[in-house]
Amino acid sequence: MRYTVDITDAGQRLDQFVTRRIKTASRGQVREAIDSGQITINGQPMKPSHKLRDGDVLEYPEIGARVEEQTPEHVDLNIIFQDEHFAAINKPSGMVTHPAKGHWDGTLTAALIAKFSQLSDIGGASRPGIVHRLDRDTSGVLVIAKNNQAHEALSQQFADRSTEKEYFALVANCPDRDRDVINQPIGPHPRYRERMSIVRDDPEAKEAQTFYEVTERFDGFSAFKVFPKTGRTHQIRVHLAHIKHPVLCDRAYGNQARMTLGEIARTDDEQIILARTALHARRLKINHPVTGEPLEFEAPIPEDLHSTLEILRKYRSV
């Protein structure tokens, strides 16, 4: 796999950066790979303590991943658009984008292998075609590359922030402002490896910017349009939780994993109406990776989120 270091990664130790990037690998496995020369910077082996620089080209193998178990799985994918270079997919909630620790089966990549005869291989054997990702519970628009030329062109658009992303979110509480921007650096959580957090005065933190707009207000809840300008791990979820408006049913950054009808209707009804993070990648604007033509893809709000929205309108209108 290959990754080009950007300015926000510069200054970090090689071993620490790779350990965070490869979720399937332990720190010991990463250090062993560095010491044996399997991990290189600009084609040269380096020490684990090497400090990354802007523009460095990092190359590393699959470490700790059970690549041999990445087998095709025939799934009815919702394809928004495709040509010979790339495709836009409406990823369902509950599907992991690529194999990771604890999630080896039922991945989007397994479905892609079964669906398409050709996919880019820049991301390695466990991430064929994957240019960017959505969290497991997050549904919506995701683009995949069918060849390396398209992969590199699309990756560059995400890296230079020329893409436009819009998300739909149902959140707790109502903000004072109808729209605002959140500028808070994001880095690894100090205690929980699988989580991220707002961190300051930490060289591992990366700048992160999220715009949001309130589209509907309810008693105790809100519907947001969210526009992330950077693409940090869990960015929207971390930022909204930071301003006391966690995404509903976010088990990592909120206070519950599911919501019942009774919680909204203020009754004893225990019917579960939502059991996943209420976040949906609704719209994505990119330029075609080969022709440069401006393109926009949209994924309608899925039924579970739309139903929850209607219940809020019925019982919590203000």
Residues catalogued as catalytic:
135
User: Of 35, 281, 23, 249, which is closest to residue 168 (Cα–Cα)?
Assistant: 281
Residues 6+ apart with CB under 8 A from 83: none
How far apart (Å, rounded) are the C-alpha atoms in residues 316 and 205? 38
Record the tokens describing residue 104, joined without a space.
């080896």
User: Of 13, 22, 15, which is closest to residue 36 (Cα–Cα)?
Assistant: 15
User: Of 92, 85, 89, which is closest to residue 289 (Cα–Cα)?
Assistant: 85
What is the CB-side half-sphere exposure of residue 166 using CA atoms within 13 A? Answer: 16
Residue with structure tokens 């409406």? 90
Q: Indicate the residue type of 121.
A: D
Can you name the residues that pair with 82 across neighbouring β-strands? 87
CA dihedral 129, 134, 136, 139 (to 10 degrees): -110
How far apart (Å, rounded) are the C-alpha atoms in residues 39 and 27? 13
